[in-house]
Structure 1
Amino acid sequence: MKNLRPILLLLITFFLFCLSVQANQSRERHQSPSNIEELKVALADLMQHYKVPAAGITMIDKQGLVYFDAIGLANREENISVNTDSVFRLGSTSKMLVALSVLKLVEDKKLSLQDKLVDLAPEIEFNNPYAATHPIRIMHLLEHTTGWDEQHYPEFAHNQTPPISLKDGLDFHPHSRTSRWHPGSRYAYNNTGPTVAAYIVEKVSGKTFEAFVQTHFFNMLDMQHSTFLYDEVFTSMPTVGYDDKNRPIDYHHFINRPASALNSSIKDMTNLLTLFIQRGQFNGTQILSEQSLVRMETPSSSLSAQKGMQTGYGLSNYSAGYKQWVYREHRGGIEGYMSEISYIPEQQTGHVILLNTKNIAAFQKISNLIKDYETQQLSRSEAPAAVLLMDQKTNKTEEAFLASTQTKPAIEGLYYEINPRVELFSFINYISNMKTFSFDENTLIQGKAIGASKNYYHPVSDDLYRSDETGLISLARVVDPIEGEVLHYAYGASAVKTSVLKKINPWLGYTQLLIGFLWLLIIIFSLFKTLGIGIAKLRGRSVPIEVKQLRRWPLLASWAFISIWGLLFVAGSNPYYYMAGPTIVSIGIMLMTIIFALCSVFAIATVFIKKSNNVNKSSYWYYTIASGVHFCVMLFLLKFGVIGIIFWA
């Protein structure tokens, strides 16, 4: 019992900490500013609280500019103030210009979203095992439905001066471009699809991607302080990016430039936002048709989109629910910077946020503050309506489905995710992102196996469900070519992530969660047990050899994984450096996973070989359980390729 006291104290402390965090979050809830002056004060308070160096913010409505300002320091070291021409880095918001460029070529009849990648660019290396029936098309590249993995660490880390061409960049490390499932069947965000699309823009137009964007968008939108390169546009008025410790970040030349390397000012981004607010027009000139923008905002290539789901990722443009409103937006985040361009098309209202720090908490608070202010100016009656739909096959209206119980048993249950963005870490989502679905009368409730967050849906057909909050169809039941019946689910404040969920036997699912929880307790207990062994040795106490043999391997297995966590913590300070090649950290993680596996095998073997003679029963059963749990976790990690993991491959 004495050995359990530290564990109980730790759990009680953790529980009290969670209650404290929840209380602090409740206290932080603010009243929405009712005018611009109150908004300015609230923004200044947030920036000071979160130590945000600088921000560029603009807001537009039907009448024009509502708010437009740059606040703070572009360079803390030299005390240089930011202004509306200061150039920030935007990260993934860059992808919007790839989609706009492709749509421009589509309007000019030089390209089609249905064109096959293999026909347009056979020189680009990729692997699609399903090409005979499901070729990769241009729309798949922009909607992230190619099935490709996220770019690998060597691609993230590549930083050559001067930067290489798009073609050389795509030739550098093509291993991530393998379709893990049929193109069009599942969504999985990655940086390589838009880059390949940008290369096709180059090939079709005969210009570099940067030159094409300059001619058709930067010049037309009077974006004089925008560039994808480290050139005089950036260096003449740069905004320094800062990490979470307020240290300046060096400029990184991304290998997938079109997907993440846009540099721009808040003045220029105001003009780009105006293009979306005015439905393709700028200063009276129609730069792109409204139909093209509607297509950009409409998910089309996935199975769920074809079924009728209304939320998700379009052409580098995704839906983001906020209260009862649905924004179209794209966010970006790279080391030292964050960005957001977000708007409600039917309300002609939107905003841009640029920060020179990657402080996610600060960014989310600022985004919510601005969305609060924007939406309180709108009439609640203008929000998207939860209209009744009719199933074309059965001619049943929503009321008929609400009264029906046919589909309830089929959809209720426990689900896990099968469309990981990063295949290497798919095991994390498999456990931590399990979802539950159950009916309360005629309302479908989505919960989490771990956690209390919930979303509510109502059936509008046998396979489609509308969000209780936005009124849009945000959940669809489809048949996956590989897994059979699955759910597509675009959720949360940002529907950029559309999970594809496969039902799992509840006994199996919750058993896995229980084993995971026991495993964490065993690792924590191992820390205290090791300390106890050390104290016992100092006092000259001896234990039977059978006890030593029984406890040795599970303790070593625990310490092997503690070492992995420590190495991952070190890698977190500079993952590009530590993970993109064979370093002490990356090799150490690989070796420690192997050591963990070997210790787990030796531990379970020792339990079967050794008897409980000369061993305290409680100790014997603890180490038996610990050995069994380590062995189960080892098999789970082995299944997902974590044992012997090579990050730089």
Structure 2
Amino acid sequence: MNHASLPTTDLRARQARRRSLAFLLFVLVALAATLGGPVEPAVKLLDESQLVHATTAAPPVEVAAPMTIEQLRARVAAVLEREGVPGVGLAVVDRDGVRWAGGVGLADRDSGEPVTADTQFRVASITKSFVALGVMRLVEQGRLDLDRPLRELMPDVAIANDWDATSPITLAHALEHTAGFDDMRFNEYFSAADGAAPRAALAVNPRSRVARWRPGSRESYSNPGYTIAGHAIELATGESYESFIEREVLRPLGMPTARFRRSPEYADRLATGYDSPDQPALFRPIWHAPAGALLASPRELAELVHFWLRRGDRGGPALVGPEALARIERTETLPYLGPDTNYGLGNYGDVSHSARSRGHDGGLPGFLSAYRYFPELGVGYVMLLNSTHSLRAYLEIRALLFAYLTGGRAVPPPPPRDPDPAEVAAITGYYGYESPRMQLFGFIERAMVGISVRPDPGGIALEMLTGGGAALVPTGDGGYRHWREGGTSVRLTRGDDGRRILVGGLTYFEEHSYAWAKTRLFALTAALLLIQLAPAWALLWALLAGIRRVRGRSIAAGEFALHAWPAAAGLAWALLPLLFMHMARAEAYTTANPLSIALCACTLLFAACSAAAVAEVVHASVARTVPLSLRLVPTAAALASFGMTLYLLFHGMIGLRVWAW
């Protein structure tokens, strides 16, 4: 059919639709070009959960041991210069006390102020260690009960739990990240004012406190759990959690300037955090202050390490008794034995060094922090970085600190056990990821993260669903580790429902079908490729159509729309990550604003273009005005984009209002 055979009104309507569609394509291309320029790195909310994953996902960093403090400082300075990190506060500790505390590099680039032992940093989630100590003081005094259901302890706080009759959520669940809660929602990140009360923070968005699975069945990191702990302290004491912890924990430890909010008295001591080598991070208070608001210096945090190394002996502060200290280092809410990286009460294990250690990490915009103590070696360290852009700096400086503390002597990891063929055979299979930190993006992690367990001459081999893996040696009781790790990093056992599971760090995997996981990953990968191909294919078609027009051949009815709608869907899809990056960079996810609204509108536009693309495919297939050879690629792209629309719609991403999630 040619245009001459169409009625004039139909021809004009078709031309109008074609012009409108061409204008939409032009707008989408212009927006993509505008947003697709250089984007400064988004604020990196690297925190302890991600740092734990980083230290357990790869073999330990190997470095030559610095033998003196001067050598240590020089080696650390070289790392800072290479990685573009302004500065770091450090401390090395043994059972007799703080060997040395100081700094390397700059606390502020503009002023040139150096980092010293008394420079204050935002230590982020290390705050949880002090909140847990405060809770245990009250437990020992009989004023709090870790196992009391939260609905009884704090009936004023909204908590949803479908398993409440048999598995009520307790304070212990909240502290061990086993309550099943989501992590904090977007509008719970930053507060307008410093020092928000826990009750006010918990009222911001109760939807983050819904049990997604049976409490006590698995770990999933959730900051609001420690705001619940702060509220519990206030209910038990009748005073603010800040006052209680400062008086009962921080000051007795020997931390005179550490506090939960900025103070004019110590304003000149606070380091400037950096998102990138030259981009200062805006200091913004956080809603969930008991989860990460503490300000402290390396000298002060060294006193916490010293406290854990002497454990109440040698005249140290008797904050809590030996049983309470042991409870802090132990997970009790899970029904199965975990790895040596278990999370207790604001305290978790680390086996990335060749000797086992415990401690905590933290991350906020511009700041990364870590403290570790090695009970078997009697030493420990503190590391506080005022930059979040270099994970390599975090890993390498930790390795240098450990090498210095061990004096260059070899600290061999525990000897591996001989593998049990029957045990290996029983655990062989595929395990899918089942503990997403944020439910909103959990479907992406479930589709991409999975582990296959295979026999290996030395034990087992782990193979990731998307490639890569490692060989592990047995440690007993279903435990395994990398041969250079200091303890069990992975354990294969059975969950509370009898299913085979794999746990490690703060992750939880359940046995699943490998064929289904691979098929899903292949389908999503193919759909993504087709969606991304559609704009380029439409451009190629337009060039060929132009050549045909020059030669006197017109395009078939519907041929333009058949190619244009999948291209529009592909361009809308390309805009989504660009809008998200700009929104994250501007920290514009907490309110309804042009960027967050544009992201919502773009998801709807993608869905609308996908639906229109499928409609054109159906029309072209019925009318048969377009040759089959020209229909194949746009049809495949249209079906891919429509299938992706249904997939995203099912998971709540179409029409996503991040400010109201």
Range into which the TM-score falls when normalised by the shorter chain? 0.7 to 0.9
Name the counterpart of 1:507.
515
Task: Please give the per-residue CA displacement for 1:62-93, whole angstroms capped at 9, x wherever unaligned.
Answer: 45444421122222222323321121111111
Q: Following the alignment from structure 1 to structure 2, what is the Cα–Cα distance between the partners of residues 322 and 479?
A: 25
Name the counterpart of 1:365.
396
What is the TM-score of this pair, normalised by structure 2? Answer: 0.83
Q: Following the alignment from structure 1 to structure 2, what is the Cα–Cα distance between the partners of residues 292 and 233?
A: 35
- Superposed, 1:160-179 pairs within 5 Å as 160=193, 163-179=195-211
- Superposed, 1:608-627 pairs within 5 Å as 608-611=618-621, 613=624, 615=626, 617-627=628-638
Q: Following the alignment from structure 1 to structure 2, what is the Cα–Cα distance between the partners of residues 284 and 503?
A: 47
Q: Following the alignment from structure 1 to structure 2, what is the Cα–Cα distance between the partners of residues 468 and 87?
A: 36
Distance of aligned partners of 1:85 and 1:458 in 2 relative to their CA distance in 1, 3 Å threshold: closer
Task: Please give the per-residue CA displacement for 1:7-65, whole angstroms capped at 9, x wherever unaligned.
Answer: xxxxxxxxxxxxxxxxxx99x97544344333222101111122222210011234544
Name the counterpart of 2:430.
414
The yes-or-no answer on 1:628 pairing with 2:628 is no
Task: Please give the per-residue CA displacement for 1:370-401, whole angstroms capped at 9, x wherever unaligned.
Answer: 234445645535x44557xxxxxxxxxxx7x8
The yes-or-no answer on 1:298 pairing with 2:330 is yes
Q: Following the alignment from structure 2 to structure 1, what is the Cα–Cα distance between the partners of residues 302 and 457?
A: 47
**What's the secondary structure of 2:499's corresponding residue?**
strand
Range with greater deviation from structure 2 (170-179 or 540-549): 540-549
Match of 2:612 among 595, 602, 606: 602
Name the counterpart of 1:16.
none
* Percent identity of paired positions between Structure 1 and Structure 2: 27
Deviation at 1:480, TM superposition (A): 4.4
Q: How many residues align?
A: 594
What letter corresponds to residue 275 of structure 1 in structure 2?
A: F
Deviation at 1:182, TM superposition (A): 1.2
What letter corresponds to residue 648 of structure 2 in structure 1?
A: L
What is the TM-score of this pair, normalised by structure 1? Answer: 0.85
Task: Please give the per-residue CA displacement for 1:523-551, whole angstroms capped at 9, x wherever unaligned.
Answer: 44345335546656887666433432322
What letter corresponds to residue 79 of structure 2 in structure 1?
A: L
Name the counterpart of 1:396.
none
- Superposed, 1:234-383 pairs within 5 Å as 234-244=266-276, 246-281=278-313, 283-305=315-337, 309-361=339-391, 362-375=393-406, 377=408, 380=411, 383=413
Match of 1:452 among 455, 468, 472: 468
Name the counterpart of 1:579.
589
Contact 2:538 2:564 in 1 (8 A): no
Match of 2:481 among 461, 467, 470: 467
The yes-or-no answer on 1:435 pairing with 2:451 is yes
Unmatched tracts of structure 1, length 5 or more = 1-24, 388-398
**What's the secondary structure of 1:454's corresponding residue?**
strand
Q: Following the alignment from structure 2 to structure 1, what is the Cα–Cα distance between the partners of residues 385 and 340?
A: 30
Task: Please give the per-residue CA displacement for 1:304-345, whole angstroms capped at 9, x wherever unaligned.
Answer: 34xx54432111111222153322121111011111111212
Deviation at 1:643, TM superposition (A): 1.6
What letter corresponds to residue 462 of structure 2 in structure 1?
A: Q
Name the counterpart of 1:125.
158
Deviation at 1:96, TM superposition (A): 0.7
Q: CA RMSD in A?
A: 2.8
Distance of aligned partners of 1:376 and 1:424 in 2 relative to their CA distance in 1, 3 Å threshold: farther
Deviation at 1:486, TM superposition (A): 4.2
Contact 2:127 2:294 in 1 (8 A): yes
Task: Please give the per-residue CA displacement for 1:172-193, whole angstroms capped at 9, x wherever unaligned.
Answer: 3222111111111121111110
Pair member with larger Rg: 2
What letter corresponds to residue 332 of structure 1 in structure 2?
A: G
Unmatched tracts of structure 2, length 5 or more = 1-57
Contact 1:227 1:234 in 2 (8 A): no
Match of 1:114 among 137, 147, 158: 147
Q: Following the alignment from structure 2 to structure 1, what is the Cα–Cα distance between the partners of residues 500 and 569?
A: 36
Match of 1:72 among 74, 82, 105: 105
Q: Following the alignment from structure 1 to structure 2, what is the Cα–Cα distance between the partners of residues 332 and 420?
A: 19
Name the counterpart of 1:208.
240
Deviation at 1:488, TM superposition (A): 3.6
Distance of aligned partners of 1:257 and 1:136 in 2 relative to their CA distance in 1, 3 Å threshold: same
Distance of aligned partners of 1:281 and 1:108 in 2 relative to their CA distance in 1, 3 Å threshold: farther
**What's the secondary structure of 2:658's corresponding residue?**
coil
**What's the secondary structure of 1:219's corresponding residue?**
helix
Deviation at 1:268, TM superposition (A): 0.7
Distance of aligned partners of 1:442 and 1:87 in 2 relative to their CA distance in 1, 3 Å threshold: closer
The yes-or-no answer on 1:156 pairing with 2:189 is yes
Name the counterpart of 1:522.
530
What letter corresponds to residue 642 of structure 2 in structure 1?
A: F
